[in-house]
């Protein structure tokens, strides 16, 4: 049986950004889509503001409605996430038309104009269509659509990976400003660990559907504990040529195993340079290591 996400547990506080990192195929996007209800959940529990929105693979109706009012998503491909047949005004207004039918047309138009201007776009664009905008502008439109209904949590599924580097920095800074302004919580999924470091308060590292390490961003980047986390950070380039040339790298051997037939015990053991016999015998639980709530799933950390 394929388990794209297996035994993952975390929480996000008000105004906090949790970064989610890992190789392609580790389950990041599946987890993000499951939270917003775009991917069916077969088991487990998702709780939103004290209410259980998933119970035994089924979503209770009232809880799901509350979840959809409070949680929105920003997607990886800016243009593909916008309906090409709709004007920008209609795209940004759609969450209000669906979730707040009591608002008048004038109120909706004012809210849409205000939100577009807040993300750096002129109200003159209201009658245009998505194909008339650049990738960075389309992502700003996607952000406006996600925030116009005043959600409490925004799930960002690799929102800058399709953008140029200079535009990436602008979008990340915009998200950071909007988070402070609206006290937003964010789940920020990305491959680029430098971007994750710049925006996240805590970071969760996934591998083959399981959590390897969770820690505050500063602590994780300064002193990673899990071998997989160390390997990921070793691959991040340093913008100093002298240091970059002379530093050692931790290279992983082999490819990501098939999630249909994962390794026994620790799923990372087949590529881990520090694997021991005990790694194949049991799945290491996430253990809390210090008073700052760093958690690591490693047999060696657990004492063998």
Tokens standing for 76?
Answer: 């990886």
Residue 270 domain-assigned (yes or no): no
Residue 300 domain-assigned (yes or no): no
Residue 235 domain-assigned (yes or no): no
Residue 272 domain-assigned (yes or no): no
The whole-chain average pLDDT of the chain stands at 88
Q: Indicate which CATH number applies to the domain containing 42.
A: 3.40.50.300
Report the number of distinct structural domains present in the chain. Answer: 1
Residue 156 domain-assigned (yes or no): yes
H or E element at residue 179: helix 165-182
H or E element at residue 188: strand 185-189
Residue 59 domain-assigned (yes or no): yes
Q: What are the tens digits of pLDDT across the range 179-216?
A: 999 999 999 999 888 899 999 999 999 999 999 999 99
* pLDDT of 11: 92
Phi/psi for 93 (5° steps) reads: -80, -20
Q: What are the tens digits of pLDDT across the range 241-271?
A: 766 666 767 778 878 888 888 899 999 999 9
Domain that includes residue 134, residue range = 17-200
Of 123-137, 149-163, 227-241, give the lowest mean pLDDT range: 227-241
Q: How far apart are CA 109 and CA 58, in angstroms?
A: 36
Residue 181 domain-assigned (yes or no): yes
Residue 242 domain-assigned (yes or no): no
Q: What are the tens digits of pLDDT across the range 273-286?
A: 898 999 999 999 99
Those residues whose C-beta lies under 8 Å from the C-beta of residue 153, and which sit 6 or more positions away, are 12, 48, 70, 71, 72, 184, 185, 186, 187
DSSP 70: H
């Amino acid at each position: 049986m394929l388990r794209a996400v297996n035994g993952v547990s975390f929480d996000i506080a008000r105004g906090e950004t949790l970064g989610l990192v890992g190789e392609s195929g580790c389950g990041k996007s599946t987890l993000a889509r499951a939270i917003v209800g775009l991917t069916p959940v077969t088991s487990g529990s998702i709780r939103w503001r004290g209410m259980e929105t998933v119970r035994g693979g089924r979503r209770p109706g009232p809880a799901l409605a509350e979840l959809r009012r409070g949680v929105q998503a920003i997607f990886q491909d800016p243009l593909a996430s916008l309906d090409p047949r709709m004007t920008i005004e209609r795209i940004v207004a759609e969450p209000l038309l669906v979730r707040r039918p009591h608002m008048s047309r004038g109120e909706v138009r004012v809210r849409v104009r205000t939100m577009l201007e807040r993300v750096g776009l002129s109200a003159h664009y209201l009658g245009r269509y998505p194909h008339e905008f650049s990738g960075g502008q389309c992502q700003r439109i996607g952000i406006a659509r996600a925030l116009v209904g005043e959600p409490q949590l925004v799930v960002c599924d690799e929102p800058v990976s399709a953008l140029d580097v200079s535009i990436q920095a602008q979008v990340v800074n915009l998200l950071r400003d909007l988070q402070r302004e609206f006290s937003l919580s964010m789940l920020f999924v990305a491959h680029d660990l430098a971007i994750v470091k710049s925006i996240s308060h805590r970071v969760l590292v996934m591998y083959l559907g399981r959590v390897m390490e969770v820690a505050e961003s500063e602590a994780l980047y300064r002193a990673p504990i899990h071998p997989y986390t160390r390997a990921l950070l070793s691959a991040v380039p340093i913008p100093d040529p002298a240091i970059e040339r002379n530093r050692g790298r931790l290279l992983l051997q082999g490819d990501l195993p098939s999630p249909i037939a994962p390794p026994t015990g620790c799923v990372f053991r087949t590529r881990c340079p520090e694997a021991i016999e005990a790694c194949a015998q049991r799945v290491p639980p996430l253990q809390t290591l210090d008073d700052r709530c760093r958690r690591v799933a490693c047999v060696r950390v657990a004492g063998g």
